[in-house]
Structure 1
Amino acid sequence: MEPKPPKPSKGDTAHWSPPSSAPGRTAARRSGAAGSGGRLGGVLTAVSRDPLSTPHRTRNDAIITAVIAVAAVAAAFLAGEERRPDALGWTLLAGAILPLVWRRSHPYAVLAVGVLCVAPYHALDNAHGAPMAGSMLAVYTFASLVRPLHAVLVGGAVVGLTLTTMFTVGAHEGLESLRTSGWIIVFLVVGMDVRIYRQYVASMVARAEHAERTREEEAARRVAEERIRIARDLHDLLAHSITLIGVQTSVASHVLTVDPDRLDRAAIAKALDDIADTCRAARGELRTTLTVLRTDATGTHGRADAGTPSGPLPELASLPELTAASGARLTLRPGADRLPPAAEVAAYRIVQESLTNAVRHGGTGVGIDVSVERRGDALHVAVLDDGAGEPLPAATPGQAPGFGIVGMRERARSVGGTLLARPRPDGGFEVLAVLPLRQPEPAA
């Protein structure tokens, strides 16, 4: 019969699990592993930290030096009367241990002072175990801070000097020093290994920071591109409709001001109806664009649900209606094959912006020819105006330069095409674009 589980104490947050083979031993192993993992992580963190940027470095090194000094004094007294240091011995021992406070900031100087003090200390046959801990700490710190080649050369010199000194004291002391000199090599190797580990951790941190900066720069670049795309879409969407509304409003104003006694009600009504139709079309297209943007913002990247309209993209089939609103003559030969949607959108927007500019700068009655033809693997778009219309009243001259041509060039570049916008020799303006229908294969 299995024993009942003990009731947890008031502050105990551990949960009792049903006994399997040995629940007590399993829980102990788990807690011990977690504790050892936490201690190991703390040790690795302390070891991998830059020794010169450790917080409270001087205070900690002073405490460690004081502990080593106490241990050295105790070892000197425990060695017996015949090996207990005299005044010179105590001075040499203090000179070898006290500089350890500055061992990280001046590793070469501290090791040199230590060797110069420890060598005569041992030569005077003082308690040989007293300076051992300080010497090993100085050797380890030196090896963990300097280049490995320097550590090997200096370590070999220290071992050679130690053996030479101890053999001058006596054969027994020399052999004993030869046996214990392995600890110097051990601390040298450990110090060099710690230095390599710190360099590895620093390189991994630098690589992670570089990757994070790259991700931030890529995110900023995408945000900038998205802002430009939204600005271009809104410009293409609203500029054409607002320009047409301005033209129609100018027509109505002209009819009202030229001959108020002979009011052409039909012309005014038609102009107002055209304004209302243009506003409705612009509102619908703006709603569609905002729906697509909101769908992208929710993380679906344009893949809306069945009940969420993703919005129809402009296509060449809509060009007759677009050109008719501006009174332009259209030549449309898209070919029999289905065109890429990106090329159709780019062609539609280029024609739309070109019509907007022609009406805005050429005025009412300007003659516009639009040609969209497929020639081989490219779509050729041409919009030409004669600039012979009546100038729009009010503030058309002196307007701030817009972003229409810049947006058209960006549209063409977005599908790998080119665009040329320039004045015509015989008057007017022309926009010529070549839009490839096959995107180039990405390089491996």
Structure 2
Amino acid sequence: MMPVQQPTTAATSRSRTAERVMAAVNRDPLTAPHAVRNDTLLAFVAAVLAAGIALFVDDGREPDALGWTLLLAAHAPLPWRRRRPLLVLALIVACVAPYHALDHVHSAPTPATYIALYTVAVTGRPLRTVLVGTGVIALSVSVMLTVSAHEALELLKISGWVVAVLFCGVDVRFYRQYVASIVERAERAERTREEEARRRVAEERLRIARDLHDLLAHSITLIGVQTSVAAHVLSADPERLDREAVAKALDDIAETCRSARGELRTTLEVLRAHDAAHGSADARGPLPGLDGLPDLAEAARLAGARVEQTVRIRHAPPAVGAAAYRIVQEALTNAVRHAGPGPAVRVALDERAGALHVSVSDDGAGPAAGGTPGFGLVGMRERARSVGGTLDAGPRAGGGFEVTAVLPLTTTGERTG
């Protein structure tokens, strides 16, 4: 096996240097760390460069004591250039103007002047930059006219460098704004994704809570009724024990437990799936549908209810079928629990005007007055709303209780299970 070639130290150093340079360019100058310290160092370097130009460049008289004082004083405000760019530029101009008027080396103050102009351009609006640049050029030409017309003309010829510095500052400012907008959009997109993930998790938790409520309430109610039947058979006439009736009641209990255990396992598998926390629809498992309605009716019959079922619809979207299944399941559970012994229950599902109409009615007494309300009706209404439908429930005019729901068959709502 050939060894993996590691990057050279020089290449790594160049890469890190490039990263630092780009970070410095992208950073907002007003919020950069250690700004005063770094600009103090910049002012010192600019002052050393200005001194070298004053000593070795011949485009004017070598500065005397006053000239050196003005030249070095022009660099003193630079450490605060980010906080007060216009004030710093004004102070530099106040020192440089008499320096040029004394006809000292005219190129010596150039570094400090360009730094101040760049700072004004990179921190201010373009209109302010244009006005400041125009004013500085006009003032410089006016000062140089006091020295000689030739010097003023030469300064006017090289004023393009001033314009270039200003345009460079404006360009860097726009580039920083562009980078900041990209970062802001990325952060906003990340926040949106996190909020969407939290919303999906909350919806999934609510779905699981509804499923568990419907499943456990339905199964426990049936088991309670079947246990009461077995107990009644055992205690009615101990000497003439109907073993077949007892065995059938116990078999019904066992079948209800097996069915509930299987559906409970399917529901809880969502919690074990890795993608459930991200709102993955594939982790929800198969949804119950209209094909499960006969099993619900049979379970209610085993609990003693007389169920008449009419289904006049061939197909429904999975979410609508699941909502109808849960609504019928909860309505049958309530009928077995509250309608009294041996209630007659009528279940009807039919398609009319592009919607699934669900009706579950019984002839029982209904829930006892003053009882503590449960979550059954609330859950049924939530399931109907989840697919864009409506649900009504209440006592019937001729006695008994009725649940009716209208579920649109063209819904694009979330899956309900």
Q: What is the TM-score normalised by the length of structure 2?
A: 0.84
Match of 2:374 in 1: 402
Which AA in structure 2 matches 1:356?
T
User: Is 1:412 matched up with 2:384?
Assistant: yes
Which AA in structure 2 matches 1:313?
P
TM-align CA RMSD: 3.5
User: Is 1:115 matched up with 2:93?
Assistant: yes
Name which of 22, 32, 51 aligns with 1:54: 32
Corresponding residue SS for 2:364 = coil
Match of 1:354 in 2: 331
1:433–1:186 distance in 2 versus 1, CA, 3 Å:
same
Aligned residues: 405
C-alpha displacement at 1:423, in angstroms? 3.1
1:172–1:165 distance in 2 versus 1, CA, 3 Å:
same
Q: What is the TM-score normalised by the length of structure 1?
A: 0.80
Which AA in structure 1 matches 2:394?
R
Kept in 1: contact 2:357–2:407 (CA 8 A): yes
C-alpha displacement at 1:361, in angstroms? 3.1
Which stretches in structure 1 are left out of the alignment for 5+ residues?
1-7, 16-26, 305-309
C-alpha displacement at 1:184, in angstroms? 1.1
1:74–1:208 distance in 2 versus 1, CA, 3 Å:
same
Match of 2:396 in 1: 424
Distance in 2 separating the partners of 1:246 and 1:104: 79
User: Is 1:345 matched up with 2:322?
Assistant: yes
Of the structure 1 ranges 103-112 and 312-321, higher mean CA displacement relative to structure 2 is found in 312-321
Distance in 2 separating the partners of 1:188 and 1:292: 61
Distance in 1 separating the partners of 2:228 and 2:106: 107
Distance in 2 separating the partners of 1:281 and 1:129: 94
User: C-alpha offsets along residues 330-387 of structure 1, whole Å, 9 cap, x if unaligned?
Assistant: 231324x444443332222111101112233334444432222333533221112333
Kept in 1: contact 2:300–2:336 (CA 8 A): no
Whose relative contact order is higher, 1 or 2, with alpha carbons under 8 Å and at least 6 apart? 2
C-alpha displacement at 1:408, in angstroms? 1.5
Distance in 1 separating the partners of 2:224 and 2:248: 14
1:119–1:69 distance in 2 versus 1, CA, 3 Å:
same
Kept in 1: contact 2:346–2:362 (CA 8 A): yes
Kept in 1: contact 2:338–2:367 (CA 8 A): no
Match of 1:174 in 2: 152
Which AA in structure 2 matches 1:206?
E
User: C-alpha offsets along residues 37-89 of structure 1, whole Å, 9 cap, x if unaligned?
Assistant: 76555433211111122122111111111111122223223357982333332
Kept in 2: contact 1:322–1:352 (CA 8 A): no
Which AA in structure 2 matches 1:96?
A
1:88–1:254 distance in 2 versus 1, CA, 3 Å:
farther
Name which of 96, 110, 118 aligns with 1:132: 110
C-alpha displacement at 1:283, in angstroms? 1.3
Match of 2:41 in 1: 63
User: Is 1:386 matched up with 2:363?
Assistant: yes
1:354–1:280 distance in 2 versus 1, CA, 3 Å:
same
Overall identity of the aligned pairs, in %: 56
1:255–1:319 distance in 2 versus 1, CA, 3 Å:
closer
Kept in 2: contact 1:366–1:389 (CA 8 A): no
Kept in 2: contact 1:367–1:388 (CA 8 A): no
C-alpha displacement at 1:161, in angstroms? 0.2
